[in-house]
Amino acid sequence: MDVATFMTLAMAHRHSGYYTTRDPLGRAGDFITAPEISQMFGELAGAAIAQAWIDLGAPASVHLVELGPGRGTLMADALRATRNLAGFHAAIRLHLVETSPVLRELQGERIRHPSRHWHEHVESLPDDAPILFIANELFDVLPVRQFVMAGDGLHERRIGVDDDDRLGFVLDPRCSRPGESDGMAEGSILEVSPAREALMTGLARRLAHQRGTGFIIDYGDLDLDGADTLQAVRAHRRVAPLDTPGKADLSSHVAFRPLLDAARREGVMAFGPLTQGEWLRRIGIETRMQRLAAGGAGGGAGGGDDDGLRARLLGEMQRLVADDQMGTLFKVVAVTTHAGPPAGFSGKERWS
């Protein structure tokens, strides 16, 4: 089978898929994400989304969509941070696009907005109002196919079973994707993701019809430059991707160029990729950190002395923005129908 089929089965199989069977997040799980590291992430994302609502002219009704909400932490923090913005919460119709029954349950406990509604796919989202969407670490789990530059051109990397019943990679002897191997070094890899592009196209098409803004945050880069980025993570450690299907998180770096191009094709404006560190600094993470450290704005620090609190918040901020942590590996892309750039972006980052 191709790598995409393997990823789909390992992640989403109805009985034994990784996301079907567990909550993978947090210290006790397999990996940790930005909203789980710090409340500041969801709060600032909420502020960026609220700005996009204002840019739309503060409509009386707006569909706020999160794709792959995990434990619901980002949305809970975003809603709390924006509760004092007049009219915003009353305007929101909340939609959570989530395939995992385990995580839907957790999201239900955390996200208390009265209009919340779950969806299996973006296709069932309503089309009668503008859309604001956010997706953090969703695109990286959507499946990719891999093609290896070998001899006469690109050959698809497939997964087979050897004589000892072990899974292993094999190259399809047929040459595929003619014409796309120009300039590629022997052994380098082309990763393509029809699933990611289709999702981006669907979202951008909705924006074009309904108006709105969306933010996509994930690890990756504009181009992946021939690297094999398929990875499996279990209990915060890298493991071999084929060793424990359904028991490790499988993902790959997001190539943002095809997503930005897909958005432009649908006629919406695209911005980025900007590093997560730069984006968070521009939308005010330092100010937010100082404010929480001073004990204001619903910090809810749960005791502890001021110095301890400040040190904890500083540590969280560093994890999100520092170059040697998540700050440059993670990127932010925005798509919008608004005339000006979304929160954190400038005209310089406009994709054309």
Question: Smallest distance from the beta carbon of 153 to ligand SAH, in angstroms?
Answer: 31
Does residue number 229 form part of the binding site for ligand SAH (CB under 6 A)? no
Question: Smallest distance from the beta carbon of 35 to ligand SAH, in angstroms?
Answer: 5
Among 25, 189, 283, 343, binds ligand SAH (CB under 6 A): 25
Among 21, 99, 115, 244, binds ligand SAH (CB under 6 A): 99
Question: Smallest distance from the beta carbon of 31 to ligand SAH, in angstroms?
Answer: 8
Does residue number 103 form part of the binding site for ligand SAH (CB under 6 A)? yes
Does residue number 141 form part of the binding site for ligand SAH (CB under 6 A)? yes
Asked if 93 contacts 61 with a C-beta cutoff of 8 angstroms, the reply is yes
How many residues form the binding site for ligand SAH (CB under 6 A)?
Answer: 19
Does residue number 138 form part of the binding site for ligand SAH (CB under 6 A)? yes
Report the Cα 23 to chain-centroid distance in Å: 17
Of 201, 218, 229, the C-alpha closest to 256 is 218
Question: Smallest distance from the beta carbon of 109 to ligand SAH, in angstroms?
Answer: 14
- Backbone φ and ψ for 46, nearest 5 degrees, come out as -60, -40
Region of residue 226 (left: phi > 0; alpha: psi -120 to 50; beta: else): left
Question: Smallest distance from the beta carbon of 139 to ligand SAH, in angstroms?
Answer: 9
Question: Smallest distance from the beta carbon of 135 to ligand SAH, in angstroms?
Answer: 7
Look-up of token digits 């296709």: 123
Q: In the structure encoding, which two tokens stand for residue 181, read together?
A: 């191997």
Does residue number 68 form part of the binding site for ligand SAH (CB under 6 A)? yes
Of 129, 75, 79, 77, the C-alpha closest to 104 is 75
69 or 220, CB closer to ligand SAH? 69
Question: Smallest distance from the beta carbon of 61 to ligand SAH, in angstroms?
Answer: 24
Q: Give the chain's largest Cα–Cα span.
A: 66
Of 224, 328, 316, 349, the C-alpha closest to 276 is 328
Among 77, 137, 156, 349, binds ligand SAH (CB under 6 A): 137
105 or 225, CB closer to ligand SAH? 105
Question: Smallest distance from the beta carbon of 143 to ligand SAH, in angstroms?
Answer: 9
The CA-atom distances, in angstroms, between 227 and each of 19, 169, 221 are 26, 16, 11
Of 63, 61, 70, 80, the C-alpha closest to 108 is 70
17 or 130, CB closer to ligand SAH? 17
Does residue number 56 form part of the binding site for ligand SAH (CB under 6 A)? no
Residue 27: count other Cβ atoms within 10 Å of its Cβ. 7
Among 6, 9, 30, 36, binds ligand SAH (CB under 6 A): 36
In the chain, beta strands by DSSP E:
62-67, 92-97, 117-119, 131-136, 145-150, 153-161, 167-175, 189-192, 212-221, 231-234, 237-239, 249-251, 254-255, 269-275, 330-336, 350-351
107 or 188, CB closer to ligand SAH? 107
Among 6, 19, 215, 219, binds ligand SAH (CB under 6 A): 19
The gap between the terminal CA atoms of the chain, to the nearest Å, is 36
Region of 130-138, 150-158, 237-245, 278-286 interacting with ligand SAH (CB under 6 A): 130-138
Which residues sit at the interface with ligand SAH, rule CB under 6 A?
A: 19, 25, 33, 35-36, 67-70, 74, 97-100, 103, 136-138, 141
